[in-house]
């Protein structure tokens, strides 16, 4: 009977850990990592092909797969039906401004006016040198009023933009940065160069300077620049009527198929692809892996990145521990790197699971695949990849010095007990200098991440 009670207790503990992992893992996907850039849940951003768009969802990153016609080979732009080489300058369609072909296929057109050796942004109004007329900059060029200037007998006040100012009055010009004043000779304004607006307006939406966003055609991308918005002008190929394009596979309206996450179901409708959004739990092993088990990590792109090096699909390479191997496998939108997890020595290893993409060891961060010497100077640690967590393993060889036990840089007397580095197991200092530790599976607390 005691054995049965013990088994039931252990089973209850495993269920509690399973539930806690589900709750913890569900919080991980508040952001998405796309080619080194962090995006918030629900945000949209441009795909690396410069044509499609992606969205950060609960289960990861989902991207459109519209076929895109690229600019001319060797780099170039398409503008108003004509092809231009990278670096070429040409007139814009308003026959006033000048456009430039960028190296990334974007076309940037300067949206400003030149008047008496000064540049003015679209929409800006300023006072002329006679002090009684105004000019404004629009897409069609510079337009100035031609009001008669006041006579000698009427110079007790100034008139500008339907406002009347008395002699000595000072106010801010319409550009928001220069100052105007009313004198007996008329209106005089400073002519400082105003800082360019830090935002762009595109079809009623405000974008910050330097940000990229989707064009209204759903295929091209735009960039908010100092003098306005510049958009690529690639021709967009959309799926034919009655079909859906899902990860380079064409489905007919009414078809049902599996989602790429392996647990949800998608349907092709007249409005596009619609998928269920069930949470798909991914659990990490709580026991030592056999030599046949391989860890997997998915990476967006066309190559596998391991310890700062890139490997092509189909390549195999040795891991940093010297006894395991990794392979790079192809995917539809991502590549998959798998690595064996053989035990490279006969000694024990402690394991700590951490959230994120790096292993943290004594305030230092290490990339997946890296190995380093532990703080005791005789043990080694390795950072392993995972699906939602990374796993740091360290050897636990005894580093006996003067009849004492050394554990992660600290000395303990024979018979001492102390916490393991995972903060939940317990270690003991033996007479032979060895440090055995309990091996319960521990979930990392938030304040340890």
Which of these, 352, 349, 351, lies nearest to 445 by C-alpha position? Answer: 352
- CA 70, CA 148: separation in Å to the nearest integer? 55
Residue 408 vs residues 376, 378, 393: alpha-carbon distances, Å: 5, 9, 13
- CA 313, CA 240: separation in Å to the nearest integer? 32
pLDDT value for 449: 41
Which of these, 49, 105, 122, 112, lies nearest to 223 by C-alpha position? Answer: 105
- CA 449, CA 443: separation in Å to the nearest integer? 11
pLDDT by residue for the chain (449 residues), tens only, comes to: 555 545 456 666 666 555 555 444 444 457 888 888 888 888 888 777 666 778 888 778 888 776 555 555 556 776 666 777 888 877 776 666 677 787 777 767 666 677 777 777 767 888 887 777 888 887 567 888 887 776 654 557 888 877 888 888 888 877 667 788 888 888 888 877 665 556 788 887 888 777 777 777 656 678 777 667 877 776 655 667 788 766 556 788 888 888 766 677 888 888 777 777 665 543 333 223 333 345 556 565 677 877 778 888 888 888 877 777 888 877 655 667 777 766 665 455 666 666 666 788 888 888 878 888 887 777 788 887 765 567 788 877 666 556 678 777 788 887 788 888 777 778 878 766 777 777 666 654 433 44
E strand or H helix at 360: strand 358-361
- CA 374, CA 395: separation in Å to the nearest integer? 9
- 216 contact partners, CB below 8 Å, separation of at least 6: 203
Q: CA geometry: angle at 133 spanning 130 and 136, to 5°?
A: 120
pLDDT value for 44: 82
Structure tokens at 388: 């939602």
End-to-end, the C-alpha distance of the chain in Å comes to 41
Structure tokens at 31: 């952001």
* Strand extents, DSSP E, 194-264: 199-202, 205-208, 212-214, 221-225, 228-232, 236-237, 243-246, 249-252, 256-258
Residue 236 vs residues 65, 120, 170, 268: alpha-carbon distances, Å: 11, 35, 54, 21
Q: pTM for the complete prediction?
A: 0.22
Residue 24's SS3 state is helix
Scored b (16 or more CB within 10 A) or e, 171-186 reads eebbbeebebbbeeeb
- CA 109, CA 288: separation in Å to the nearest integer? 61
> Domain 400-448 falls in which CATH fold?
Complement Module; domain 1 (2.10.70)
Residue count (the chain): 449
Which of these, 275, 238, 201, 184, lies nearest to 52 by C-alpha position? Answer: 238
Which of these, 292, 282, 251, 286, lies nearest to 269 by C-alpha position? Answer: 251
């Amino acid at each position: 009977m005691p054995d049965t009670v013990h088994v039931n207790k252990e089973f209850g503990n495993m269920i509690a850990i399973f539930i806690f992992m589900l709750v913890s893992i569900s919080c991980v996907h508040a952001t998405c990592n796309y080619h080194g850039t962090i995006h918030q849940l629900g945000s949209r951003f441009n795909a690396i092909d410069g044509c499609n768009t992606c969205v950060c969802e609960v289960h990861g990153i989902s991207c459109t797969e519209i076929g895109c016609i690229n600019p001319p080979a060797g780099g170039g732009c398409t503008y108003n039906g004509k092809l231009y080489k990278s670096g070429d300058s040409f007139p814009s369609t308003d026959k006033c401004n000048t456009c430039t072909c960028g190296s990334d296929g974007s076309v940037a057109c300067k949206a400003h006016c030149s008047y008496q050796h000064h540049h003015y942004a679209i929409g800006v109004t300023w006072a002329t040198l006679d002090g009684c007329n105004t000019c404004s900059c629009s897409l069609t060029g510079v337009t100035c009023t031609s009001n008669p200037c006041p006579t000698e007998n009427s110079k007790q006040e100034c008139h500008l933009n339907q406002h009347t100012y008395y002699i000595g009055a000072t106010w801010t010009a319409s550009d928001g940065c220069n100052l105007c004043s009313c004198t007996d000779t008329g209106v005089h304004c400073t002519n400082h160069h105003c800082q360019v607006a830090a935002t762009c307006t595109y079809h009623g939406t405000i974008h910050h300077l330097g940000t990229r966003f989707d064009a209204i055609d759903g295929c091209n991308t735009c960039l908010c620049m100092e003098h306005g918005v510049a958009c690529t002008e690639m021709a967009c190929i959309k799926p034919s009527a009655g079909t859906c394009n899902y990860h380079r596979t064409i489905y007919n309206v009414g078809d049902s198929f599996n989602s790429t996450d392996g647990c949800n179901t998608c349907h092709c409708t007249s409005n596009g692809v619609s998928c269920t959004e069930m949470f798909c739990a991914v659990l990490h092993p709580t026991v030592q892996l056999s030599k046949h088990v391989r860890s997997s990590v998915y990476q967006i792109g066309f190559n596998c990145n391991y310890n700062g090096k890139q490997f092509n699909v189909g390549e195999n390479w040795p891991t940093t521990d010297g006894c395991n191997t990794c392979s790079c496998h192809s995917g539809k939108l991502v590549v998959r790197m798998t690595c064996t997890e053989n035990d490279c020595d006969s000694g024990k290893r402690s394991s700590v699971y951490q959230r994120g993409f790096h292993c943290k060891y004594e305030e230092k961060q290490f990339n997946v695949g890296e190995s380093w010497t532990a703080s005791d100077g005789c043990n080694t640690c390795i950072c392993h990849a995972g699906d939602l967590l990374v796993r740091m393993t360290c050897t636990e060889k005894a580093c006996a010095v003067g009849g004492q036990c050394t554990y992660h840089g600290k000395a303990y007397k024979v018979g001492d007990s102390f916490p393991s580095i995972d903060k939940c197991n317990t270690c003991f200092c033996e007479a032979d200098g060895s440090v055995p530790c309990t091996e319960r599976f521990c979930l990392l607390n938030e304040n340890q991440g």
